[in-house]
Amino acid sequence: WRAPPGTRTLTPRFGPSKPMLAFRFLRALTLVHRTAANSSNAARSRRIQRAAFASMAYSAGPRRAWSRALLCRLHFHRARRRCAGRRRAAGVPRRPSTTGSPADGLRRLVPGGTGMDYCGLLEETADYIRCLSEQVKLMQSIVDSVGPGGR
Amino acid sequence: MEAKENNQFGLEKSHGDHISSHSSGAAGFVTPLTSSPILSASMVEAFFAPSLWNHHTSSCTMNFGESNIQTATSGINCVPIGKPVAMSNRGMLPSPPPGEFPHSLPHFPVDSGFIERAARLSCFGGSSFRGISLFGPSQSMAPPSDASKDVNGARVLKAELNVVSLPVEHGTIKGITTNSKRDRSISHVGTSNNESREGNFCEDGQERHTGSADAAGNSSSSDLGANKRRKATEEMEKEKDQVLRALQSSTETTKNNTETKHKSYKHSGKNAKDNSEAAKEGYVHVRAQRGQATNSHSLAERVRREKISERMKYLQELVPGCSKVTGKAVMLDEIINYVQSLQRQVEFLSMKLAAVNPQLDFSIEGPLAKNLLHSHGGSSSAAGFSQEMIYPQVYSSQQGLAHAGISSMLNPSDAFRRPMNTEIPMASGYKETSLQMHNSWNEQLVMQMAYGANPPLNSQVINRKPDGFTI
């Protein structure tokens, strides 16, 4: 029995790159503000949220399944929005968790989780959680740095 | 204890030379089971000496090993467990009683490396036994013609493993390799951590493992062990576990017939144990117990389970407030909740950011983006320029992460540009999506820059997975 030669070792890996994350996100943020200054807050917030996820995925690198899946999903949605109006793509059909697999909920949450085995799913989840928390921290600090007069 | 070890070292070194003389006649192992540094026979010294701290006598060890393997002496072939066994009275292992050692291990194919390691480990002395794991050498026993690994052999192995497990907690037992690489591994057993202790213990360099592991190829367990060793390379803390597991698993196939006593092997599943702890700690590692199937499926299953448990543990650390939770189901729920809460937080913060007045005129994209994406050289000047541009604005409020992020990102941006083509082996799909994604929120950037002129540049900058950042 030979384990798959590409077996990756367990985490801890290097975490998400904070400078890269900050850079990308800030860039995206300014761009959103510039280009969509006139649109509604909700639309802008959507864009910002997408930008947040995208910068997260970029910083995580292409080696991560979740970052790839996230980017594909974002791009796909964006293409859909551009071309086909506001129809939201279904993406992967949601399977009801009648099979009883405990990881189904997690699979839905983590981008790209549906195509993974349990072991890889856990690893991707860990990385995803790390990146998410970094992103949240970044955004929170931006919000804080703007100060109370931001609103 | 230390003095004894030093004595032993001295003795061994002094006898290092006449190992070769012993090589042919290295029949039996002496089993100095007493705790005193009684190298009961010169044989012991010869055993210990070969490469203990010299690393050079690979030839000697080879001869030694071969002779050992070949000697079908019905004499006492006991591993010179010596001190370790004696010190195992910390209760870590049910080490075989000394009286049993004199059982003949005629076919105990312990080669010199095995003994050397045992010797070394014994010399390391007082450190606690982390756990017992059968080293790779046990696996090496399989190839020798002798398949009769009787229980005594197993016990000896176990004792040896006791010894072996000694420096585990020092962090770098790089697994023992298979037969073919034995001499190399033996001669170069050097640990990176144990500089305090002669530092020669563990193997250096993972390539030894992987190389040897690849070369092993003969048994599934060796591959398993190799994989496990590979895993261990990346994680210092878990190295020990990996190695132990590798050793254990590697021995499973070799010992499936005979072992009964190894069930009691335990190794600490947790890494943060202090040295004085006995090896009976942590969880009882799953092993090929008596009567248990040791075919590849169960081994694979075991590996898989271990991986899953490791990752669950890591997740437990990540998710705050999960350390008390036990059980996979509850953990999973917690994780799901946490991920959901994080995503909600992102959404909420993005709403907040959207509402924020665009007084955050970062104007990063202007000078910075141009610098990053256009110029190959002059990075420092560009970075400085960008910094000046950005700081006055960012600092309008305070020094937040924005500052740190921007300032820090300017520097690594240079690094991004240089090895432009090194990151080619990214998924091409990824590149494309990134290009398009880059478009999606940087439409202006796209137009401003000569984006079309430098698509590879762009994508590489975007896609660059700089080493050391992630993964």
> Between these two residues, B288 and B169, which has the higher pLDDT value?
B288
Q: Report the phi/psi class of residue B91: left, alpha or beta, with left for phi > 0 and alpha for psi in -120 to 50.
A: left
Widest CA span in chain B: 88
Task: State the average pLDDT over residues B323-329.
Answer: 75
A132 at interface of B, judged by CB pairs closer than 8 A: yes
> Which of A94-108, B151-165, B228-242 is predicted most confidently?
A94-108
Contact B394, B402 (CB under 8 A): yes
Contact A146 B445 (CB under 8 A): no
A97 at interface of B, judged by CB pairs closer than 8 A: no
Q: What confidence category does residue A62 fall into, taking pLDDT thresholds of 50, 70 and 90?
A: confident
- Tell me how far apart the terminal alpha carbons of chain B are, to the nearest angstrom: 43
Q: Å from A34 to nearest chain B CA?
A: 8
B428 at interface of A, judged by CB pairs closer than 8 A: no
Contact B465 A63 (CB under 8 A): yes
Flag whether pLDDT at B447 surpasses 70. Answer: no
What residues does B131 pair with on adjacent strands? Answer: B267
Flag whether pLDDT at B30 surpasses 60. Answer: no
| φ, ψ at B131 (rounded to 5°) | 170, 165
Which residues of chain A neighbour B333 with C-beta distances below 8 Å? 105
Contact A112, A69 (CB under 8 A): yes
B471 at interface of A, judged by CB pairs closer than 8 A: yes
Flag whether pLDDT at A61 surpasses 70. Answer: yes
Q: Å from B471 to nearest chain A CA?
A: 5
Residue B199, pLDDT score: 39
What residues does B301 pair with on adjacent strands? Answer: none
C-alpha–C-alpha distance, residues B244 and B238, integer Å: 10
Query: What is the number of residues in chain A?
Result: 151
Flag whether pLDDT at B377 surpasses 80. Answer: no
Q: What confidence category does residue B455 fall into, taking pLDDT thresholds of 50, 70 and 90?
A: very low
Q: What confidence category does residue A4 fall into, taking pLDDT thresholds of 50, 70 and 90?
A: low
**What DSSP string runs through B3-47?**
HHHHHHHHHHHHTTTTHHHHHHH---B----SSS----SHHHHHH
Q: Cβ neighbours of residue B285 under 8 Å, at least 6 residues apart?
A: B131, B244, B245, B248, B265, B266, B267, B269
Flag whether pLDDT at A132 surpasses 70. Answer: yes
Tokens 């899953």 belong to B308
- Tell me how far apart the terminal alpha carbons of chain A are, to the nearest angstrom: 61
C-alpha–C-alpha distance, residues B405 and B396, integer Å: 16
> Between these two residues, A123 and B184, which has the higher pLDDT value?
A123
Contact B354 A59 (CB under 8 A): no
Q: How many CB pairs under 8 A join A and B?
A: 283
Which residues of chain A neighbour B398 with C-beta distances below 8 Å? 144-145, 147
Task: State the average pLDDT over residues B414-429.
Answer: 42
Q: Å from B181 to nearest chain A CA?
A: 19
Residue A129, pLDDT score: 87
Contact B314 A11 (CB under 8 A): yes
Residue B328, pLDDT score: 76
Residue A60, pLDDT score: 78
Residue B360, pLDDT score: 53
**CB nearest to A54's CB, from B311, B315, B437:** B437
Residue A139, pLDDT score: 84
Task: Residue window 9-68, chain A: list those with CB within 8 Å of chain B.
Answer: 9-23, 26-35, 37, 41-42, 44-54, 58-64, 68
A22: closest CA among A145, A150, A149, A137? A137
Q: How many CA atoms lie within 13 A of B93 on its CB side?
A: 35
| Percent of chain B residues topping a pLDDT of 90 | 0
Contact B167, B271 (CB under 8 A): no
> Between these two residues, A91 and B120, which has the higher pLDDT value?
B120
C-alpha–C-alpha distance, residues B344 and A142, integer Å: 17
Report pLDDT digits (tens) over B54-70. Answer: 444 444 444 444 444 44
Instruction: Indicate the range of A58-67, B69-78, B340-349 predicted with least confidence.
Output: B69-78
Q: What confidence category does residue B431 fall into, taking pLDDT thresholds of 50, 70 and 90?
A: very low
C-alpha–C-alpha distance, residues A25 and B405, integer Å: 10
**CB nearest to A19's CB, from B234, B365, B405:** B405
Contact B346 A102 (CB under 8 A): no
Task: State the average pLDDT over residues B4-32.
Answer: 44
Query: pLDDT averaged over chain B?
Result: 50
Q: Å from B153 to nearest chain A CA?
A: 25
Residue B9, pLDDT score: 44
| Percent of chain B residues topping a pLDDT of 70 | 13
Q: What dihedral angle (degrees, nearest 10) is formed by the CA atoms of A11, B248, B67, B190?
A: 30
What is the reported pTM?
Answer: 0.40
Q: Å from A86 to nearest chain B CA?
A: 16
Residue B283, pLDDT score: 53
C-alpha–C-alpha distance, residues A94 and A110, integer Å: 13
State how far the alpha carbon of B98 is from the alpha carbons of A5, B106, B135, B358, B436, in Å: 42, 17, 21, 80, 72
Report pLDDT digits (tens) over B118-177. Answer: 556 555 544 444 444 444 444 444 444 444 444 444 444 444 444 444 444 444 434 343
Contact B364 A23 (CB under 8 A): yes
B127 at interface of A, judged by CB pairs closer than 8 A: no
Q: What confidence category does residue B240 fall into, taking pLDDT thresholds of 50, 70 and 90?
A: low
Which residues of chain B neighbour A110 with C-beta distances below 8 Å? 339
Task: State the average pLDDT over residues B77-93.
Answer: 44
Residue A72, pLDDT score: 82
Contact B110, B159 (CB under 8 A): no
Contact A50 B441 (CB under 8 A): yes
Q: What confidence category does residue A12 fall into, taking pLDDT thresholds of 50, 70 and 90?
A: low
Contact A9 B235 (CB under 8 A): yes
B227 at interface of A, judged by CB pairs closer than 8 A: yes
C-alpha–C-alpha distance, residues B245 and B157, integer Å: 15
Contact B356 A150 (CB under 8 A): yes
| φ, ψ at B76 (rounded to 5°) | -80, 110
Flag whether pLDDT at B339 surpasses 80. Answer: yes
**CB nearest to A49's CB, from B314, B336, B350:** B350
Which residues of chain A neighbour B469 with C-beta distances below 8 Å? 14, 16-17, 20, 59, 61
Residue A70, pLDDT score: 81
CA torsion sign for B449, B451, B453, B457 is: positive
Flag whether pLDDT at B83 surpasses 80. Answer: no
Q: What confidence category does residue B14 fall into, taking pLDDT thresholds of 50, 70 and 90?
A: very low
Q: Report the phi/psi class of residue B266: left, alpha or beta, with left for phi > 0 and alpha for psi in -120 to 50.
A: beta
> Between these two residues, B168 and A90, which has the higher pLDDT value?
A90
Query: pLDDT averaged over chain A?
Result: 72
Q: Å from B340 to nearest chain A CA?
A: 7
Which residues of chain A neighbour B238 with C-beta distances below 8 Å? 10
Residue B60, pLDDT score: 44
**CB nearest to B401's CB, from A22, A41, A45:** A22
